[in-house]
Amino acid sequence: MQRILQLLSLLALFTSAPTVIAWDSIGHRVTAAVALQFISDDKQSLLLELLGQHPRFEEDFLDAMPDFIAQGSTAMRQEWLLGQAAFWPDIARGIPPAARDRYNHPSWHFTDGAWVRGAALSQGNIYIGIARFPDIQGEEAATIREESMVHNVITALDYNARVLREADRPAADRAVALCWLLHLVGDLHQPLHTGALFSATVLEEGDRGGNGIPTDDGTLHARWDRALRDDGIADSVARVLAQITRPSRPRIRGVESDWTEWLSESRQLLRSVVYSEEMRAEIAAADRLQREIQLSNLSESYITQMKQISQQRLGLAGLRLAIWIENELN
């Protein structure tokens, strides 16, 4: 309980600190913070030791640490560092060009909605007025041995998990892989990273995971990314932890991880909730009348459901990170 209270205090400081951190940053930090509640002290020490070997540890971690964290407790610094690690793949988009070319991988954050493998037997795409695209049969995890073979969020998880498991790999490579794994588990639990909507005319090339669908306050993708912002991060984390530990603390040891099961879950939500019947009807009308999409306010019931699902997915992402780390990382 003391550790949870300390965590909530840390997150409250983040939300009130002068330097505003985007929801994407907070979302990944929350997922990492939830994971920490279920990771053993020995594994936490291993993660931090490994992270210290990151090739950009000084520039992107130590130099970026806020003063109120640097001057705080050891636990606060450790929690901040692992949260920074979970967000680092997004930070890599803005680092100097030579390093950016090495570490930034835009295609790793999502998957083509037609790509299927394992438990994810159904596509994540929605088709309005056009024929369904053929399935793209995904490669087996065991075949993803080189970085050049990675092309989506699942194969990126395959590859980075492999790098982390191989103790003879350079420590710097394993540290980068740790950041990617922490980040990608979060991305995979966001439904709009797992498919898209296509229509005959207005979305002929797809909506890029909700980025092409306007609302009264940003794109549909942006609304899902920041679904819990108005509730306050500390309160959101408290609710996530309460959900996960009710009625009892979940089992961690001996639980297997299957990325494709998580992909299947996100796609089910994408088809059943995210792309609502109202949205589909509006897009069909825009196609028929040859006009732009005219979406305005998301309904109160839709926003409520969006917040509930986002909270559940953040909690699951954190718990599943802990499960993988406890069972797979040595």
pLDDT-above-70 percentage for the chain: 90
Amino acid found at 104? N
pLDDT, average across residues 245-260: 90
Average pLDDT of the residues of the chain: 90
Domain locations in the chain as residue ranges: 104-231+256-304
pLDDT the model gives residue 21: 34
For the chain, counts of helices (H) and of strands (E): 14, 6
Of 198-207, 245-254, 259-268, least confident by mean pLDDT is 245-254
More confident residue, 33 or 182: 182
HSE-up (13 A, CA, CB side) for residue 44: 19
Give me the residue label for tokens 């030579």.
Answer: 98
pLDDT, average across residues 133-141: 98
pTM (predicted TM-score): 0.91
Of 44-58, 224-238, 286-300, least confident by mean pLDDT is 224-238
pLDDT the model gives residue 234: 61
Winning range, highest mean pLDDT, from 117-126, 287-296, 311-320: 117-126
pLDDT the model gives residue 117: 98
- Is the pLDDT at 9 greater than 60? The verdict is no
Q: Which of 26, 94, 20, 25 is nearest to 56 (CA)?
A: 94
The span from the CA of 43 to the CA of 50, in Å, is 10
pLDDT digits (tens, 9 = 90+) for 70-89: 999 999 999 999 999 999 99
Which band of pLDDT confidence, cut at 50, 70 and 90, is reported for residue 118?
very high
Alpha-carbon distances, residue 302 vs 16, 135, 241 (angstroms): 28, 30, 23
**Is the Cβ–Cβ distance between 307 and 228 less than 8 Å?**
yes
Per-residue burial over 94-105, b if 16 or more Cβ lie within 10 Å, else e, is ebeeeeeeebbe
- Is the pLDDT at 16 greater than 50? The verdict is no
Q: 218-219 and 214-215 as β-strands: parallel, antiparallel, unpaired?
A: antiparallel
Of 24-33, 148-157, 296-305, least confident by mean pLDDT is 24-33
Which band of pLDDT confidence, cut at 50, 70 and 90, is reported for residue 132?
very high
pLDDT the model gives residue 103: 98
- Classified as helix, coil or strand, 116 is strand
Give me the residue label for tokens 């718990």.
Answer: 319
The span from the CA of 117 to the CA of 135, in Å, is 10
Element containing residue 136 per DSSP (H, E): strand 136-137
pLDDT digits (tens, 9 = 90+) for 156-190: 999 999 999 999 999 999 999 999 999 999 999 99
Percent of the chain as helix, strand, coil, to the nearest 5:
60, 5, 35
- Classified as helix, coil or strand, 127 is strand
